[in-house]
């Protein structure tokens, strides 16, 4: 397994993961994923929601079995959670009934380490991570940042070879997250941790460029490794350096360019396409912001994201939805309002609704489908279940529910149909035909 | 002086008793001694029960109270073990779940006192000639009043363990046994302890009822509070009834202070909530134990034994289904299992029907259904009346935090108090005024359970968001509109929880309250409860089964058709 310079820690070979669908066969979350982790590197998995990045991380952690392909860890095939692989969770996942010290000791205890050694190792991990003084506190007494430090201490104390991190900073506020990132990088660069390699899942592009030596872009539905980007900067990195900004811009461009290369834009939606919930207020707000100074109809996505404090997972769905509706064009990391978008920005409430309804019926097949069915039905009523079952041929149950609730929200705003949540019925009542 | 001793290496210092030990140690010793004497007496032969009658001397009451308390404790332990085993099996095995959960649902609809007639016969046969048999029957009766809701609570907690905690446990390589003690039990504890309290509160009623049982020719009176009460009723001694009421009051208060307050205060750390609670539950006893060094030292070996047991890398027969692996269930196996379950059900149904059918004709069945309707009307009317009284009062109390703080423990105490102790007073009144028993015995069935409505409504009104109240005031919403649009929807889920508990209790209470006696005088109301009580005393098993089956059917239908839809509606639309 000795490569030219560095030893390989982990290899993921042609891994796929899916779940059974009665009618459609298998629905894939991941498809043909390959990746390797070498000694001494931090690798980022960057992708949007629905790209299966968390699933991939859990496959590597041995928590989920892949349906295809296999994972090799330290040269041996992985079956179940391996020793030497520790994980840090987005939600911290601390046991609320254990103190900080007991939480850190829990992993050692499960390994059968003797009480005295356990205590010593736990205390030194707590010391390393800057938690001294909090040993006897319960998690609920701590702030989010301190809780995640416990999460780190608990992972480090077992002397892992590979550290897995599942969006470890996304539940923290901006400043706390930055402190934890730099502390973690300081420890890594000082070599004070036994960890040989780190794999970090994130949807934050800046975070990935700030921390990683290598970034893998995961595309969505199904998740595949779309591109690999090497980050050449030495630590500590300066977020404001032009080269840093340029790389962030490039990654934005790569992540938005994907759709165009796949085929003709906008025409790829069908009834069973997954739709993320995008609030109509956010949509209107973004159009208004784009229409006026300093953007005057065109903006750089990374710049927009940082000035609006929106993360990729918040910004991309809105931008994409605008593009589907024909209110904007997104390409090469830029977003530009189209003519209907500019008109929308200047109109009053009722005119906006009419324009939105027109665009919605034209661009979103599911919305159009619901309206058509209601028009055809004698009582102009149809149950939710009817559409849910149709969607479940294409999507997982959860994705079907998300999509329907997004479309219901848009349809209500556009007044193209009404929906009663108590009877779970669509109808054309209260809607002028 | 304390400051000079290093904290970590002060093991010698920790062994020295401190002043708290002087209070705590005798207390615990006393509990151990009392417990062992109580147990020794249960090994006495059954004849001692029949020869040695219950003394009505008030001085004997503390001893009786102790026996009753021990029975409660034994039943609680049994319920706990049952809940953990049954809940785990139901949560971990998909096939077992299909059968176990509906069974549990039916079990909790069967009137508790309905089990007694069978269990008495069974346990006395199991330990012939020993008091232990009768004791077991009484304990089993209490067990049946406590176990079901605890089991449901544990099962539901097991199903709702957060995914990330499950993943941590998997990446720590915990075996099923370790995961059970490290994750599943701690996570379930707050719900389990709350349900233990509710069970205990309901249990006092049944312990009183089950200590004096007559099934056919077997007439068993166990030394205890219930036995004392039965003796007092037989002797028409109103003074003795007064003494037993006083004793019960004290016992319930002590139980609360010595068992549940410390448990609740201790279990506070198992809450999943992220923030430290504003008013954490307090217990002076728990503080005392935590401060008493000698007690701490004595508690350590058993504590470590538990920790050691929890650490054993045992593999349980069912693996962890929690991990995200996609396991394909075998359809053939499922089919076979479903067929087996169906066959077993049909077989049991046939056995029961043929047993009951030996003696009972269709006219009897119709007659029993008629009585069931009478009891149903009684339950409905009285729950409605109790709601009319307690909902407005509960709202008024709940909206005044100071008042609520004082009334709430009282309401909880009243809910726990076994009202069968008060029945004689009513009966004496009915006899004296020659009142109509069909009407005047009815209040007895909600006498004890109405308090569940009160304290749930108080809890709901206390939790009602202040913003809503201020908004209502701001928009000048008053009078009937305020009740209809603001507060009633706000407390609805709480009220329904209370009403479900109250109506369940009322069905149970009908068995003891529709047929009561005072000395030789017997007063009976027309109803299913009286029918079950009468046939139990006569030892007429086919009729007992018929009565219980009909009552269970009424309770199940009542829950399915009325309470569940209401609760589902209140939960989803009004919250």
- 3-class DSSP state of A423: coil
Q: Could you list the residue range(s) of the whole structural domain that residue A335 is in?
A: 264-433
In a domain, A294, yes or no: yes
* Distance of residue B420 Cα from the nearest chain A Cα, in angstroms: 40
In a domain, A424, yes or no: yes
Is residue B31 classed exposed, middle or buried when 0-12, 13-18 and 19+ CB atoms within 10 A define those classes?
exposed
Q: Does B271 contact A at CB distance below 8 Å? A: yes
Contact A93 B270 (CB under 8 A): no
Q: Do A48 and A133 sit in the same domain of this protein?
A: yes
Q: With bands split at pLDDT 50, 70 and 90, how would you rate the model's confidence at B2? A: very low
Interface test with B, best of A83, A95, A424 (most B CBs within 10 A): A95
Q: Do B303 and B373 sit in the same domain of this protein?
A: no
Q: Do A249 and A395 sit in the same domain of this protein?
A: no
> What is the per-residue pLDDT for B523?
86
Which of A255, A287, A315 is the last residue in one of the domains? A255
Q: Do A221 and A281 sit in the same domain of this protein?
A: no
Which of A202, A237, A255 is the last residue in one of the domains? A255
Taking Cα atoms as reference points, which of B301, B263, B287 lies closest to residue B24? Answer: B287
Contact A85 B270 (CB under 8 A): no
With a cut of 50, say whether residue B46 has pLDDT above it: yes
Residue pLDDT, tens place only, B456-495 = 899 889 888 888 888 888 888 888 888 888 888 888 888 9
With a cut of 70, say whether residue B45 has pLDDT above it: no
> What is the per-residue pLDDT for B259?
82
> What is the per-residue pLDDT for B1?
30
Contact A65 B325 (CB under 8 A): yes
In a domain, B329, yes or no: no
Contact A141 B269 (CB under 8 A): no
Contact B174 A110 (CB under 8 A): yes
Most confident of the following: B257-266, B274-283, B305-314: B257-266
Q: Does A430 contact B at CB distance below 8 Å? A: no
* Distance of residue B493 Cα from the nearest chain A Cα, in angstroms: 17
- How many other β-carbons are positioned within 10 Å of the β-carbon of residue B474? 8
Q: Distance of alpha carbon B277 from its chain centroid, rounded? A: 27
Residue of A nearest to B172 (CA): A107
Give the one of B270, B274, B326 whose C-beta lies nearest to A19's C-beta.
Answer: B326
Whether residue A131 contacts residue A149, with contact meaning beta carbons closer than 8 Å, is answered with yes
Q: To 10 degrees, the CA torsion angle through A310, A314, A315, A317?
A: 180
Q: Do A309 and A169 sit in the same domain of this protein?
A: no
Q: How many domains does chain A have?
A: 2
Give the one of B165, B273, B573 whose C-beta lies nearest to A140's C-beta.
Answer: B273
* Distance of residue B546 Cα from the nearest chain A Cα, in angstroms: 40
Q: How many CA atoms lie within 13 A of B232 on its CB side?
A: 28
- 3-class DSSP state of B397: helix
In a domain, A125, yes or no: yes
Q: Do A228 and A294 sit in the same domain of this protein?
A: no
Which parts of chain A register pLDDT below 50?
1-4, 258, 260-267, 433
Helices then strands, each counted (H, E), chain A: 15, 16
- Give the ipTM of the model, two decimals please: 0.75
Backbone CA torsion sign across A85, A88, A90, A91 = positive
Which residues in chain B are closer than 8 Å to A92, comparing Cβ atoms? Answer: 164
CA distances to A90, A142, A144 from A177, in Å: 12, 15, 10
Q: Does A3 contact B at CB distance below 8 Å? A: no
Is residue A6 classed exposed, middle or buried when 0-12, 13-18 and 19+ CB atoms within 10 A define those classes?
middle
Whether residue A89 contacts residue A151, with contact meaning beta carbons closer than 8 Å, is answered with yes
> What is the per-residue pLDDT for B319?
45
Could you tell me how many residues make up chain B? Answer: 575
- How many other β-carbons are positioned within 10 Å of the β-carbon of residue B60? 14
Q: Could you list the residue range(s) of the whole structural domain that residue B312 is in?
A: 55-273+281-316
Contact B172 A20 (CB under 8 A): no
In a domain, B306, yes or no: yes
Q: Do A95 and A27 sit in the same domain of this protein?
A: yes
> What is the per-residue pLDDT for A255?
82
Whether residue A194 contacts residue A117, with contact meaning beta carbons closer than 8 Å, is answered with no
Residue of A nearest to B162 (CA): A93
Q: Do A234 and A291 sit in the same domain of this protein?
A: no
Q: Do B311 and B371 sit in the same domain of this protein?
A: no
Give the one of B165, B173, B326 whose C-beta lies nearest to A95's C-beta.
Answer: B165
Q: With bands split at pLDDT 50, 70 and 90, how would you rate the model's confidence at B220? A: confident
Q: How many domains does chain B have?
A: 2
DSSP character for B257?
Answer: I
> What is the per-residue pLDDT for B334?
75
Q: Do A325 and A196 sit in the same domain of this protein?
A: no
Domain of B69, CATH number, reads 1.10.3720.10
Residue pLDDT, tens place only, A262-301 = 433 444 678 888 888 889 999 999 999 999 888 888 888 8
* Distance of residue B275 Cα from the nearest chain A Cα, in angstroms: 5
Which residues in chain A are closer than 8 Å to B326, comparing Cβ atoms? Answer: 19-20, 65, 67
With a cut of 90, say whether residue B160 has pLDDT above it: no
Mean pLDDT of B329-337: 73
Which of A255, A272, A300 is the last residue in one of the domains? A255
Domain of A84, CATH number, reads 3.40.50.300
In a domain, A141, yes or no: yes
DSSP character for B268?
Answer: G
Find residues 74-113 of chain A whose CB sits inside 8 Å of chain B: 80-81, 83, 85-87, 89-93, 95-97, 106-107, 109-111
* Distance of residue A393 Cα from the nearest chain B Cα, in angstroms: 19
In a domain, B10, yes or no: no
In a domain, A1, yes or no: no
Q: What string of DSSP letters covers A110-146?
A: HHT--HHHHHHHHHHHHHHTT-TT-TT--GGGS-HHH
Contact B273 A83 (CB under 8 A): no
With a cut of 70, say whether residue B17 has pLDDT above it: no
Q: Do B229 and B286 sit in the same domain of this protein?
A: yes
Residue pLDDT, tens place only, B388-445 = 999 999 999 989 888 888 888 888 888 888 888 888 888 888 888 888 888 888 888 8
Q: Do A286 and A228 sit in the same domain of this protein?
A: no
A42 phi, psi to nearest 5 deg: -105, 120
Which residues in chain A are closer than 8 Å to B178, comparing Cβ atoms? Answer: 110
**This model's pTM is above 0.90:** no
- A-B C-beta contacts closer than 8 Å: 76
> What is the per-residue pLDDT for B574?
61
Find residues 37-76 of chain A whose CB sits inside 8 Å of chain B: 58, 61-65, 67
Residue of B nearest to A109 (CA): B311
The C-alpha angle B442, B444, B446, rounded to 5 degrees, equals 95
Contacts with B119 (C-beta within 8 Å, 6 or more apart), sequence order:
B136, B137, B140, B141
In a domain, B251, yes or no: yes
- How many other β-carbons are positioned within 10 Å of the β-carbon of residue B120? 26
Residue pLDDT, tens place only, B239-252 = 888 898 899 899 88
Q: Do A231 and A269 sit in the same domain of this protein?
A: no
Q: Do A148 and A283 sit in the same domain of this protein?
A: no
Q: What percent of chain B has pLDDT over 90?
A: 11
Whether residue A318 contacts residue A283, with contact meaning beta carbons closer than 8 Å, is answered with yes
Contact A65 B269 (CB under 8 A): no
Q: Does B573 contact A at CB distance below 8 Å? A: yes
Which residues in chain B are closer than 8 Å to A109, comparing Cβ atoms? Answer: 311
> What is the per-residue pLDDT for A417?
92
Taking Cα atoms as reference points, which of B160, B136, B32, B139 lies closest to residue B79? Answer: B139
Tell me the pLDDT of chain B averaged across its residues.
79
Contact B172 A107 (CB under 8 A): yes
Find residues 282-311 of chain B whose CB sits inside 8 Å of chain A: 311
């Amino acid at each position: 397994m000795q490569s030219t310079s560095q030893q390989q820690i982990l290899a993921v070979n042609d891994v796929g993961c899916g779940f059974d669908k009665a009618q459609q066969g298998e629905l894939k979350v991941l498809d043909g994923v390959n990746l390797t982790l070498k000694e001494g590197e931090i690798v980022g998995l960057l992708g949007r929601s629905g790209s299966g990045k968390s699933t991939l991380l859990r496959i590597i952690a041995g928590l989920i079995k892949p349906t295809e392909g296999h994972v090799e860890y330290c040269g041996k095939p992985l079956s179940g959670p391996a020793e030497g692989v520790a994980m840090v969770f987005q939600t911290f996942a601390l046991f609320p009934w254990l103190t900080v010290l007991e939480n850190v000791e829990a992993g050692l205890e499960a390994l059968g380490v003797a009480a005295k050694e356990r205590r010593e190792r736990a205390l030194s991990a707590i010391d390393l991570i800057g938690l001294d003084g909090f040993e006897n506190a319960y998690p609920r007494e701590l702030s989010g940042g301190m809780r995640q430090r416990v999460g780190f201490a608990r992972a480090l104390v077992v002397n892992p070879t590979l550290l897995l991190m599942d969006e470890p900073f996304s539940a923290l506020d901006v400043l706390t997250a930055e402190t934890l990132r730099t502390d973690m990088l300081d420890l890594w660069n000082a070599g004070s941790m036994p960890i040989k390699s780190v794999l970090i899942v994130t949807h934050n592009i800046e975070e990935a460029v700030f921390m990683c030596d290598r970034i893998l872009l995961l595309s969505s539905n199904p998740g595949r490794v779309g591109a690999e980007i090497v980050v050449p900067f030495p630590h500590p990195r300066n977020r404001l350096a032009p080269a840093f900004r340029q790389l962030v811009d490039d990654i934005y461009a790569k992540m938005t360019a994907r759709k165009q290369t796949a085929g003709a834009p906008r025409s790829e939606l069908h009834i069973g396409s997954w739709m993320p919930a995008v609030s109509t207020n956010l949509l209107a707000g973004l159009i208004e912001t784009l229409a006026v100074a300093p953007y005057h109809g065109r903006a750089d996505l990374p710049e927009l994201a940082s000035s609006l404090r929106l993360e990729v997972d918040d910004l991309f769905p809105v931008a994409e939805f605008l593009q589907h509706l024909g209110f904007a064009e997104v390409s090469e990391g830029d977003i530009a309002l189209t003519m209907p978008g500019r008109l929308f920005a200047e109109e009053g409430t009722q005119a906006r609704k009419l324009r939105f309804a027109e665009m919605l019926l034209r661009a979103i097949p599911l919305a159009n489908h619901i309206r058509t069915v209601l028009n055809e039905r004698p009582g102009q009523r149809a149950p939710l279940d009817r559409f849910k079952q149709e969607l479940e041929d294409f999507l997982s149950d959860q994705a079907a529910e998300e999509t329907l609730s997004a479309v219901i929200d848009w349809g209500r705003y556009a007044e193209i149909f009404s929906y009663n949540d108590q009877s779970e019925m669509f109808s054309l009542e209260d809607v002028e035909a | 002086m304390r400051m000079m001793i290093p904290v970590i290496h002060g093991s010698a210092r920790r062994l020295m008793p401190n002043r708290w030990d002087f209070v705590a140690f005798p207390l615990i010793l006393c509990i151990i001694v009392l417990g062992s004497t109580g147990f020794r007496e249960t090994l006495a032969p059954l004849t001692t029960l029949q020869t040695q009658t219950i003394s009505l001397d008030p001085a004997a009451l503390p001893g009786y109270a102790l026996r009753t308390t021990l029975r409660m404790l034994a039943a609680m332990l049994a319920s706990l073990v049952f809940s953990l085993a049954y809940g785990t099996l139901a949560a971990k095995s998909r096939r077992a779940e299909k059968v176990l959960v509906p069974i549990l649902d039916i079990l909790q609809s069967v009137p508790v006192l309905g089990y007694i007639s069978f269990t008495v016969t069974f346990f006395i046969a199991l330990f012939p000639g020993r008091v232990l048999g009768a004791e077991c029957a009484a304990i089993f009766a209490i067990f049946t009043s406590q176990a079901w809701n605890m089991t449901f609570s544990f099962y539901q907690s097991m199903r709702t363990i957060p995914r990330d905690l499950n993943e941590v446990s998997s990446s720590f390589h915990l075996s099923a046994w370790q995961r059970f003690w490290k994750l599943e039990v701690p996570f379930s504890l707050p719900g389990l302890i709350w349900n233990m309290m509710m069970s205990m509160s309901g249990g006092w009623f049944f312990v009183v009822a089950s200590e004096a049982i007559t099934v056919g020719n077997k007439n068993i009176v166990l030394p205890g509070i219930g036995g004392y009460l039965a003796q007092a009723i037989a002797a028409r001694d109103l003074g003795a009834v007064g003494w037993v009421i006083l004793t019960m009051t004290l016992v319930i208060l002590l139980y609360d202070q010595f068992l549940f307050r410390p448990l609740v205060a201790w279990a506070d750390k198992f809450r999943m909530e992220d923030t430290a609670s504003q008013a954490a539950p307090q217990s002076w006893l728990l503080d005392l134990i935590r401060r008493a060094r000698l007690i701490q030292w004595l508690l350590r070996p058993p504590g470590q034994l538990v920790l050691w047991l929890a650490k054993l890398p045992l593999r349980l027969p069912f693996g962890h289904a929690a991990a995200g692996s996609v396991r394909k269930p075998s359809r053939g196996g499922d089919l076979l299992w479903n067929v087996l379950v169906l066959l077993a059900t049909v077989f049991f149904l046939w056995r029961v029907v043929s047993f009951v059918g030996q003696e009972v004709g269709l006219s009897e069945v119709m007659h029993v259904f008629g009585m069931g309707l009478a009891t149903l009307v009684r339950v409905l009317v009285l729950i409605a009346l109790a709601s009319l009284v307690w909902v407005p009062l509960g709202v008024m109390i709940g909206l005044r935090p100071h008042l609520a703080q004082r009334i709430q423990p009282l309401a909880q105490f009243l809910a726990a108090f076994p009202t069968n102790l008060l029945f004689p007073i009513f009966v004496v009144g009915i006899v004296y005024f020659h009142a109509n028993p069909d009407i005047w015995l009815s209040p007895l069935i909600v006498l004890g359970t109405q308090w569940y409505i009160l304290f749930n409504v108080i809890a709901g009104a206390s939790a009602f968001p202040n913003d809503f109240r201020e908004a209502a005031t701001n928009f000048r919403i008053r009078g009937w509109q305020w009740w209809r649009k603001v507060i009633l929807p706000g407390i609805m889920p709480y009220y329904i929880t209370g009403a479900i508990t109250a109506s369940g209790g009322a069905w149970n209470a009908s068995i003891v309250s529709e047929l009561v006696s005072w000395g030789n005088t017997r007063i009976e109301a027309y109803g299913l409860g009286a029918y079950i009580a009468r046939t139990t005393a006569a030892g007429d098993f086919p009729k007992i089964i018929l009565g219980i089956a009909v009552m269970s059917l009424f309770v199940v239908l009542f829950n399915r058709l009325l309470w569940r839809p209401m609760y589902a509606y209140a939960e989803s639309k009004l919250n």
